[in-house]
A and B are shown apart, each in its own frame.
Chain A
Amino acid sequence: MPGSTVTVTIGYLFSNCRLDIRQGKELNHERCPRSKLYQQSIKYLGPPGSDSSTEEELDEVQDTNTAAANASRYLKGGSDSDVDDDLPKRIVQPAKEKRFEEMVNTAEQMKQNFDKINKQLEKVMRITESVKKAPVLYIKTRVTLEDFLNETLAAEKKMSHSNSKAFNSMKQRLKKNNKTYQEEINKYRESPDQTEEVKVSEEDLCDKDPKEITSEWINQKHKEVVSSRGRKGTSPFELVDQLTHLMRIAKTPPQKLEILFSVVSAQFDKFVNNMFTILDLLVKHDNIVVTVELDENLVAFLERVDAEFFKSMQNVDPHTREYVERLRDEPLLLALAQNVHDYFERRGDFKSAAKVALRRVESVYYKPQEVYNAMRKLAEETRKPTFPESSRAMMDALVSLIYKHGDERTKARAMLCDIYHHSLMDEFGAARDLLLMSRLQDSVQRMDISTQILFNRSMAQLGLCAFRVGIITEAHGCLSELCSGQRVRELLAQGVSQSRYHQRTPEQERMERTLQMPYHMHINLELLEAVHLICAMLLEVPNMAVNSHDAKRKVISKSFRRLLEISERQAFTAPPENVRDHVMAATRALTKGDFEKAFWVLNSLGIWKLLKNRDTVLDMVKARIKEAALRTHLLTYSVSYESLSLDHLAKMFDLSDNQVHSIVSKMMIWEELHAYWDQPTRCIFFHDVQHNRLQTLAFQLVEKLSVLAESNERAMEARTGGGGLEYAGSGKWQDNMSYRGTQMDGTSRMVSLNRGVRV
């Protein structure tokens, strides 16, 4: 029987019921709870009494007898109630006595069943939380019971004493009971051509006239179903069925979508449950020899579900509650992954274990300790996994397993995650060493795009980490390539940036969309931009002061210079609004040596609250700004001074004597500042040597020559296959080959950090 017709007919019946309620007719359920009824029915087990209403009722029933007969015929075979409507027919056959006995028994049974069904009804009502109506099944049973009673009454005039007594009591009870459901019974009788196929749990969802289904109703139902998720007694399987049905009858596409999402989560539960069962089985029965195929399946399952989870996170709007709720599934997934992982480790299948470990690493690496703790708590509620106390410990264990047993790609990804995580923990040194030792910078171009994105993410995080611990140059090195140009979003897969210059094909766009990072994994772009620009400012402002005459000569950050140019071109400067404006305002102040204002402007940025150790970072920024201001000041005004006192400088820039001394000494040694200390008077004496034009040009020429020579050497190196000048060509090449891809290889670590970001 096609499902739709079922729904239609059943739905119709109940829509009527609801209408009645609205008209104000009493249905009495609330006022007459089942327990009371039950007590009453016990009372009626005594001597039978009769009143007029019974007879009226009887007449009424008999009037509709034919219709009821039709109904029961129609129901034949499809009914799952205890009452079998074959019974009256058989009774008219010979061997009446024997049948009578049977009937007495049946009546007895019916009585018990009747009590039972009443009790069950109570339960059902409680569970479905719909007090307004009783299930169809219940009503149907009642109707058939009544019909049957009447038929028997009509057919059998003679009865033994005990039989008739039992029969009567039965009749009484039924009648009493039926009163409460009179309405429904009547309705049922009016439209008896309905069928009953749908399961109990589904009924209250499915029995509605399509015309009557409103979107509010569906919403309400949806909420009910969803809220029952995870509760005791609701199996995920039923939930899925219910939701699928709801989805089918949903009105509008958005609603459909919403329900579909719930379906997915329900299915997720179902899947996880199944997986856990599989694992439990496998663990309990160690003797089961699992074939390799199954092992592969297990990994594949896990990878699939993880990928699906990722996809769902990509697609859910991150600003809804739903996103948060989906996110709550992650601990469960992780717990599952851990179980699978343990299983493989026990079996000694380290290759599969490494695969699973990578999945675990990838869902942990971006979590700061706080988030990790929260997740651990959630996960432990569900299935008692034993996640280590600190995320670092977990990462270490997983990553070392992967380094030992994983394949190339797995290792590279794990390494990147490791770098990211180290950076997150502010362990810049460790992260940098990993990056340089792994030589990923050279090989990442050959990897797949998602790994490249991971690489970019790691670089970004490394840069932020360097900034937090106060290593400005390195931070700038990590971020400059990533942030210059307008493609940060794209490079980090945190949104698609519109490019004017090259049009994407739809395929490319789709590709890009599948690679997007879910919102909870995002690196805050504003923070990234601010950090990049602040680093650029701290490096570039003194640098500009050095080469004030020849501004184009040595540029550290091109993008910063460009921004500065743009902001300088403006006739009026408005108060800063975005990150860029703030940094530009700070730069203007810093160029004048006004470190206080520069810091004040930067301090007013909103992004600082995103940092864990906000105060220390701000202190660091302040110290750096002071230093840059001092350097800028000296470089700019050294021409105008013969000597400058240390105390004066220290007071001016709010620095200690030692700091000033150290900074100025450094500048002297690097020959940025042509000056000497005069120790007894604590002064700086400037000995500026002014080169004449010819000399300056000669120096420039020399510099260009050396650049030329260097590029020649580099070209040569590239042609001869990396055979450096210091080494015999072949030896180094071999070393490179043998070292690649191992962690502790000890190959050269002198590679510069800012080597690229690619997509």
Chain B
Amino acid sequence: MAETKENYDLTPRVAPNLDRHLVFPILEFLQERQLYPDEQILKFKIELLNKTNMVDYAMDIHKSLYHTEDAPQDMVERRAEVVARLKSLEEAAAPLVTFLLNPNAVQELRADKQYNLQMLKERYQIGPDQIEALYQYAKFQFECGNYSGAADYLYQYRTLCSNLERSLSALWGKLASEILMQNWDIALEELNRVKEIIDSKSFASPLNQVQNRIWLMHWGLYIFFNHENGRTQIIDLFIQDKYMNAIQTSAPHLLRYLATAFIVNKRRRPQLKEFIKVIQQEHYSYKDPIVEFLACVFVNYDFDGAQRKMKECEEVIVNDPFLGKRVEDGNFSTVPLKDEFLENARLFIFETYCRIHQRIDMGVLAEKLNLNYEEAERWIVNLIRTSKLDAKIDSESGTVIMEPTQPNVHEQLVNHTKALSGRTYKLVTQLLEHSQGQAAR
């Protein structure tokens, strides 16, 4: 069982697309779930920390890993180095930092970037060097784990910076800081900002752009499954052609998260059809219980298979760092997403099942839905009452009888033609725009 758990674990595929600091929450999660031996995770952590400036933390982990009180020599040296570097950066950035800490001075800044730069130079002798120093200082702060400081400095830096490249990396830094501080609202704003830049900026190579998109999607996972509106956002972002292509080419494992979002989100049903097509295309390159569940329900109509998959999905969700977020409720800890997922998955199965049946035995239905008889009955009655289902329960024979829904011919014809007029209007406006554009030229 442990083996399959590890198979479903996407950490090795996700981690390369994240910042070092962002991997920590995942490792914490894995440690908690005990999927891997503690020792291994601690080693990973040290390895991660080696490239950051969080040397004290690394030392602590080292001590607990090897049960010693001594930190290795290189770590001690590195610590001294880090402290020294911090000092020097602090000094370099000091003029600007003091300026920014002075509320009166900050009020002098205006929306005009050129003016600000000019003003800083003339009145405070702060030139590009100091601004650059601020960036370095912010980055260093981030590396040290001081995310809030980093976020502030990076925000200030962006108002002053004139280099596009730098501005983008500052934005990435800000995004990471906000994610790590769990300010989901702000993080979502930053995410959209980064997205805009990625989509509008011209990259050195298309490959580069794709890579940036992939990063964005990975980083976004933190936000999407924590922000209340995230599940709609994730679909809106991932289903976009450019992002979907990036997923298909380089990161098919992201399909898991998209599939989950589709299942738990009722508002994006229309796009589901499109997504099913993608699943069909990609099934050879990536296998995941959640994706396979969708395939079972919507491609193969294999309801027994879907049911089996549902159990696997449960396992996956509980062990996924993004999906398996726990909520402590007194003595119980629950995974809210899991329950939501199961409920919706059940509904998916049921809906499709009902579409092709006219009479279903309640017992079988209960079994299919992973519920007992009474629960199933209650569940169905609820559905009928909320008029989600056009059916009646025949208690005597213990069956659900669907009301045959014969679509009215007239209705069908109207439905088919309705879209036509819209399309034609669109075409005409486009044509006019085009001809106007030609005339203007």
Contacts and interface: CB of A to CB of B under 8 A. Distances in A.
A428 B426 CA distance: 39
Nearest to B207: A744
Interface stretch (B79-87, B121-129, B416-424): B416-424
A135 to B, nearest CB: 71
Nearest to B416: A702
A685 B245 contact: no
Nearest to B200: A731
Contacts of B431: 716
Nearest to A729: B434
Interface stretch (B4-12, B60-68, B138-146, B402-410): B402-410
Contact of B301 (A428, A429, A669, A725): A669
Interface stretch (B154-162, B189-197, B356-364): B356-364
A201 interface: no
Contacts of B249: 433, 437, 744, 746
A712 to B, nearest CB: 6
B242 interface: yes
Contacts of A661: 301
Contact of B413 (A662, A685, A699, A725): A699
B206 A662 contact: no
Given A699-B413, A725-B426, A689 B406 contact: yes
A592 interface: no
B304 A698 contact: no
Interface string B229-241: 0000000000001
A569 B78 CA distance: 89
Contact of A677 (B207, B245, B357): B357
Interface in A678-705: 678-681, 685, 687, 689, 691, 695, 698-699, 702, 705
A706 interface: yes
A433 B361 CA distance: 44
Given A678-B358, A679-B359, A712 B430 contact: no
Contacts of B417: 702, 705
B358 A677 contact: yes
A698 B358 CA distance: 29
Contact of A662 (B248, B300, B361, B416): B300
A317 interface: no
Interface string B348-361: 00001001111111
A161 interface: no
Contacts of B424: 709, 712
Interface in A690-744: 691, 695, 698-699, 702, 705-706, 709, 712-713, 716, 719-720, 725, 738-739, 742, 744
Contacts of A685: 358
A271 interface: no
B356 A668 contact: yes
Contacts of B413: 698-699, 702
Contacts of B352: 669
Contacts of B284: 428-429
A603 interface: no
A745 interface: yes
A377 interface: no
Contacts of B420: 705-706, 709
Q: Which secondary structure characterizes the binding site on chain A?
A: helix
Contact of B245 (A679, A738, A747): A747
Contacts of A748: 241, 245
Interface residues of A, number: 43
B430 A716 contact: yes
A745 B355 contact: no
Interface centre among A677, A685, A746 (most CB of B within 10 A): A746
Interface in B422-437: 423-424, 426-427, 430-431, 434
A742 B245 contact: no
Given A429-B284, A702-B413, A676 B434 contact: no
A702 B426 CA distance: 19
A720 to B, nearest CB: 5
B406 A687 contact: yes
Contact of A676 (B245, B301, B358, B409): B358
Nearest to B245: A746
A668 B357 CA distance: 10
A721 to B, nearest CB: 10
A738 B417 CA distance: 38
Contacts of A662: 300-302
Contacts of A680: 359-361, 397, 399
Interface centre among B249, B360, B426 (most CB of A within 10 A): B249
Contacts of A725: 426, 430
Given A437-B249, A680-B397, A702-B413, A745 B206 contact: yes
A681 B300 CA distance: 22
A665 interface: yes
B434 A719 contact: yes
A699 B411 CA distance: 12
Interface in B253-311: 281, 284-285, 300-302, 304
A666 interface: yes
Contacts of A691: 409
A744 B357 contact: no
A658 interface: yes
A614 interface: no
Given A662-B300, A713-B427, A742 B406 contact: no
B210 interface: yes
Contact of B361 (A679, A687, A716): A679
A677 B355 CA distance: 9
Contacts of A713: 423, 427
Given A698-B413, A706-B416, A716 B206 contact: no
B73 interface: no
A29 interface: no
Given A716-B431, A746-B245, A746-B249, A669 B406 contact: no
Given A429-B285, A713-B427, A746-B250, A695 B409 contact: yes
A738 B285 CA distance: 27
A304 interface: no
A749 interface: yes
B250 A665 contact: no
Contacts of B210: 744-746
Contacts of B426: 725
Contacts of B242: 746
B205 interface: yes
Contacts of B406: 687, 689
B34 to A, nearest CB: 36
B337 interface: no
A42 B245 CA distance: 92
B46 interface: no
Nearest to B299: A666
Contacts of A709: 420, 423-424, 427
Nearest to A689: B406
B215 to A, nearest CB: 14
B108 to A, nearest CB: 39
Contact of B356 (A428, A677, A689): A677
A712 B246 CA distance: 31
Nearest to B431: A716
A725 to B, nearest CB: 6
B342 to A, nearest CB: 23
19 contacts: A429-B284, A662-B302, A669-B301, A669-B355, A669-B356, A676-B357, A676-B358, A677-B357, A679-B357, A679-B361, A699-B413, A705-B417, A712-B424, A716-B430, A725-B426, A725-B430, A742-B207, A744-B210, A749-B248
Interface of A: 428-429, 433, 437, 658, 661-662, 665-666, 668-669, 676-681, 685, 687, 689, 691, 695, 698-699, 702, 705-706, 709, 712-713, 716, 719-720, 725, 738-739, 742, 744-749
8 nearest A-B residue pairs (beta carbon): A665-B301, A676-B358, A429-B284, A746-B245, A679-B360, A668-B356, A677-B357, A702-B416
Given A666-B301, A706-B420, A709-B424, 6 more contacts: A429-B284, A677-B356, A744-B207, A744-B210, A746-B206, A748-B245
